[in-house]
Amino acid sequence: MSVTPENLGDLSRRTLLRRAAAAGLLATPAMGLLSACAGSEPKKSDDTGGAKSKDNPFGVKDGSAVKVVIFNGGLGDQWAKEDKVIFNAKHANVTVNMSSTQKIKTEEQPKMATQPSDLVMNSGADMMDRSTLINEGAIEPLDDLLAAPAWDGEGTVADTLLPGTVSDGTQNGKFYVVNVAFTVWGNWYNAALFKKEGWQPPTTWDEFFALAPKIKAKGMAPYVHDAVHGYYPRWALMASIWKSAGKQVVVDIDNLKDNAWKADGVLKALEPWEKLVKDKLLLPGKLDHTQSQQAWLDGKAAFIQVGTWLKNEMSATIPPGFELTISDYWSNAGDKAPKDVFAASGEGFVVPSKAPNKAAAKEFLRAILSKEGSAKFAELTKSLASTKGSGDNVQDSALSSANALMKNGGSELISVKFQDFYADLDKESQNLSEELMAGRLTAQQFIDKMQTAADKVAKDSSIKKQTRTA
Amino acid sequence: MRHGVARFVTGFLALPVALYLLYVVWPFVQAAGYSLTDWGGFSGSQNFVGLDNYVRLLSDELIRKAFWHNVFFLVTVPLFTIALALFLAFLLNVGGREDRAGIRGVFGSGLYKIIFFFPQVLSLVVIAVMWQQIYRTDGQGLINGMLIKIGLVDADNPIAFTADPEPFLGVPAVLWWLLLIAVWSGAGFYMVLFSAAMQSIPKDIFEAAILDGANRFHTFFRVTLPLLRDTISVAWVYLGFIALDMYALVFVMTPSQGGPNHASEIFASVLNFTAFQKGQYGYACAMGVALAIFTILLAALQLRITRRDRIEY
């Protein structure tokens, strides 16, 4: 046997590592090497063509063509094909070239600066960043669409939209994004089961806590929620805070006002949730969204809190006779806004600034938002459209209960902005929501920790502050 | 003649080296550059802030937490993976009975080798998704389901696995559960590596040891282990890199990608959050550079410590 210090392979490996270290030390600042992407000014193009009239408010030119791109996700694209029929009934000589895809950004973004489609449904995981689109001047303000007469109803297009739709699509004081769908959040139950057992769906926490022992006696857990994604329980907690403490407190929370989390009513809103956990009314296990939804469909839990996409998401496994019904989050006696509903519009359409036929794009939007079009949307997708009354004539327990919830709701829609404003608070509130729902935090500790997190963001000069007004 | 060879080699190397410089080295340099700025990631403008980001790193509580979690993996992943891999390799190669044919592994060792190596064939994300089902937190999970059936776990209080932040031996339970997956998925490869190294040890050394009255315990610690020192040292460095990463497991398996409530936060998860959710690319680059420097120092230290005279046979 001979003894050598190192074999060759060993040597080269060491050398490589040493060189890597050297490269790290030699690294020099590379400022300004990534220059701004060459942005081009949006070209002002005039939509002069056809004559403008009440039935043709944007002057769509006969014989022109309009290219419409639909996001073919959970809602499918059949509803959009119906809108094409509705559109062509009024403009028989305008050609609608409709395509559907799931890759909006991949396919549409490269065309935005040169030859974009006329109307793009900017939705799904692969969507174009909205703020960037607006800041770069890549999409058109659509305020004239809001002012235009409704397709088949009274008043203007704006009058026909559900509350919140216009403000959801507005940025920097202009209306850019036309959200066509409407999501409502709340507590879901199986109406068929409740009828069979003679249970009255609760509207207040007291009624729920009175009903819970009866549910438990049937071998069911009273409540289940997604225990993996913190934003699921956060919807419920923030809805309770809004109902209990009123809108202004949530606005203050969003604006990082001093001691906003410690305002009157916040603790009272969270205490029932603490009690729900302490009394062991939750289904055991830390299930994610689909697992918990399936457990609820399997009859392991009586209530689940989630939004109105539930029916579409679980459509493959809903047992026959199961009546998915949504009810409002429960309130307490003495709440400031017990009837306000947690709801928001989504699935936004945009018109590119360089679109060749903007008039027809806007006209097509008017058709989508029509009574006829929105009713078709609700019928086919089992989701509410952002146009008022879309679910009025649809026989579906999930949709009609959501529709009823919106109709009986208070004057305001519950909305929370801090999670969109500040990533730190988003993460922290998700974590703390799950901690509260796991019983590792009391309601008071949750509030204290949220206040600490909010103060930290307020003091951090590296974070750009945003303000909520309405 | 020699000149021609040099040109031949250069011709072949030019393109790969150019690609390497452009797509590997250049981004490294860029990241180091951005770490000295307050770049937000979406605009073309940024301000030079000097070492501010690095100063901030030192006082960042979340980073400190993530650092200690990485250190936990740095110690445990190589330790347990190498121990398990060595044990398996020993059993499969020299652990069986001795007979006239010489030293051999336990019965059926060829089959076991395939089984143990199998996780290596799967992508880490596939492994994570599979373990999600094994770790499912109610009676439908593989582990919980079995334990509930035989009465070891209360159905009203199932094991929460990666959703459990409660400390076990001072370390959040979620990290131990992730460690189990990392060791399970890594042991097979190092078992094969050690097997190959063991097979290159001449059988007569073992036979001589056995003739001298050494039992299995002695052969392993007095003969096998010393002769595998080089291989183990290499494995240790590689596993160290893996332990400093752990990103895929944390990202797929834990709530809020580093939860519950930061209990499984690691360098990579904090970096990902800082860059892609908070939009502080400059600060995130500083984290990346700090991690790179730490890794390089660690590897250098490791190689220095294990540098030793080598026995040739």
Query: CATH no. for residue B228?
Result: 1.10.3720.10
- Which band of pLDDT confidence, cut at 50, 70 and 90, is reported for residue B278? confident
The answer to whether position A34 is within a domain reads: no
The answer to whether position B47 is within a domain reads: no
Q: How far is B93 from chain A (nearest CA, A)?
A: 23
> Do A422 and A380 fall into the same domain?
no
pLDDT at B260 over 80: yes
> Do A328 and A247 fall into the same domain?
yes
Nearest by CB to residue B309, choosing from A5, A18, A30, is A5
Q: Are A283 and B292 in contact (CB < 8 Å)? A: no
pLDDT at A2 over 70: no
pLDDT at B160 over 70: yes
Higher pLDDT, A205 or A106: A205
Residue (of A214, A406, A412, A187) closest to A307 by Cα position? A187
pLDDT at B3 over 70: no
**Which of B37, B238, B261 best probes binding to A when mutated, by most A CB atoms within 10 angstroms?**
B261
CA distance B289 to B62: 17
pLDDT at A315 over 50: yes
- What pLDDT shows up at residue A10? 39
- Which band of pLDDT confidence, cut at 50, 70 and 90, is reported for residue A36? very low
> Do A335 and A352 fall into the same domain?
no
Give tens-digit pLDDT for B192-251: 899 888 888 887 887 888 888 877 778 788 888 888 888 888 888 889 888 888 888 898
**Cβ neighbours of B163 in A, within 8 Å:** 227-228, 286, 438
Report the pLDDT averaged over residues B115-134.
86
Report the pLDDT averaged over residues A305-324.
90
Report the pLDDT averaged over residues A361-388.
92
**Which of A231, A280, A286, A446 best probes binding to B when mutated, by most B CB atoms within 10 angstroms?**
A286
The answer to whether position B28 is within a domain reads: no
The answer to whether position B277 is within a domain reads: yes
**Cβ neighbours of A281 in B, within 8 Å:** none
pLDDT at A60 over 60: yes
User: What integer best gives the mean pLDDT of chain B?
Assistant: 85
Enclosing domain of residue A74 = 65-183+344-406
The answer to whether position A55 is within a domain reads: no
CA distance B187 to B183: 6
Enclosing domain of residue B138 = 61-306
How high is the ipTM of this complex? 0.83
The answer to whether position A324 is within a domain reads: yes
CA distance A352 to A67: 11
> Do A125 and A151 fall into the same domain?
yes
Classify residue B95 by its DSSP letter: -
> Do A155 and A210 fall into the same domain?
no
User: What integer best gives the mean pLDDT of chain A?
Assistant: 85
Nearest by CB to residue B30, choosing from A1, A30, A435, is A30
> Do A97 and A232 fall into the same domain?
no
The answer to whether position A302 is within a domain reads: yes
Classify residue B99 by its DSSP letter: B
- What pLDDT shows up at residue A46? 46
Nearest CA in chain A to B137: A285
- What pLDDT shows up at residue B97? 61
> Do A189 and A268 fall into the same domain?
yes
> Do A250 and A320 fall into the same domain?
yes
- What pLDDT shows up at residue A216? 94
The answer to whether position A36 is within a domain reads: no
Question: Residue B153 contacts by C-beta under 8 Å, 6 or more apart in sequence?
Answer: B144, B147, B159
For chain B, say whether A36 makes contact (Cβ under 8 Å): yes
pLDDT at B114 over 60: yes
For chain A, say whether B155 makes contact (Cβ under 8 Å): yes
**Which of A228, A457, A465 best probes binding to B when mutated, by most B CB atoms within 10 angstroms?**
A228
pLDDT at A234 over 60: yes
CA distance A212 to A302: 9
The answer to whether position B15 is within a domain reads: no
Q: Are A23 and B25 in contact (CB < 8 Å)? A: yes
- H/E stretch holding B70: helix B61-93
- What pLDDT shows up at residue A248? 93
Q: Are B312 and A34 in contact (CB < 8 Å)? A: no
pLDDT at A34 over 80: no
Q: How far is A393 from chain B (nearest CA, A)?
A: 40
For chain B, say whether A22 makes contact (Cβ under 8 Å): no
Q: Are B138 and A30 in contact (CB < 8 Å)? A: no
> Do A77 and A176 fall into the same domain?
yes
The answer to whether position B42 is within a domain reads: no
- What pLDDT shows up at residue B259? 79
Higher pLDDT, A309 or A191: A191
Report the pLDDT averaged over residues A191-196.
94
Q: How far is A424 from chain B (nearest CA, A)?
A: 7
Place of tokens 């829609």: A413
**Cβ pair A341, A406 in contact under 8 A:** yes
Report the pLDDT averaged over residues A45-73.
81
Give tens-digit pLDDT for A155-188: 999 999 988 899 888 888 899 999 999 999 999 9
The answer to whether position B276 is within a domain reads: yes
Number of compact structural domains in chain B = 1
- What pLDDT shows up at residue A45? 45
**Cβ neighbours of A295 in B, within 8 Å:** 138
Q: Are A427 and B292 in contact (CB < 8 Å)? A: no
Residue B260, preceding bond cis, omega within 30 degrees?
A: yes
Q: How far is A298 from chain B (nearest CA, A)?
A: 13
> Do A295 and A440 fall into the same domain?
yes
CA distance A110 to A411: 42
Higher pLDDT, A433 or A461: A433
Higher pLDDT, B262 or A114: B262
The answer to whether position A270 is within a domain reads: yes
The answer to whether position B284 is within a domain reads: yes
Q: Report the amino acid identity of residue A175.
A: F
**Cβ neighbours of B42 in A, within 8 Å:** 132
**Cβ neighbours of B278 in A, within 8 Å:** 423-424, 463
> Do A203 and A278 fall into the same domain?
yes
- What pLDDT shows up at residue A208? 96
The answer to whether position B14 is within a domain reads: no
Give tens-digit pLDDT for B62-78: 999 999 999 999 999 99
pLDDT cut 70: percent of chain A above it: 89
Evaluate the CA torsion angle A346, A352, A356, A359 in order and state its sign: positive
Number of compact structural domains in chain A = 2
**Cβ neighbours of B291 in A, within 8 Å:** none
The answer to whether position A19 is within a domain reads: no
- pTM for this predicted structure: 0.80
CA distance A310 to B301: 54
Which CATH number belongs to the domain containing residue A270 in this structure?
3.40.190.10
- What pLDDT shows up at residue A276? 95
For chain A, say whether B306 makes contact (Cβ under 8 Å): no
**Which of A31, A428, A432 best probes binding to B when mutated, by most B CB atoms within 10 angstroms?**
A31
**Cβ neighbours of B283 in A, within 8 Å:** 462
- H/E stretch holding B111: helix B109-121
DSSP β-bridge partners for residue B120:
none
Evaluate the CA torsion angle A290, A295, A297, A302 in order and state its sign: negative
Q: Are A27 and B29 in contact (CB < 8 Å)? A: yes
Pairs of residues, one from chain A and one from chain B, whose beta carbons lie less than 8 Å apart: 137
- Write out residues 383-402 of A within 8 Å (CB-CB) of B: none
> Do A115 and A134 fall into the same domain?
yes
Helix (H, G, I), strand (E, B) or coil at B311: strand
- What pLDDT shows up at residue A356? 93
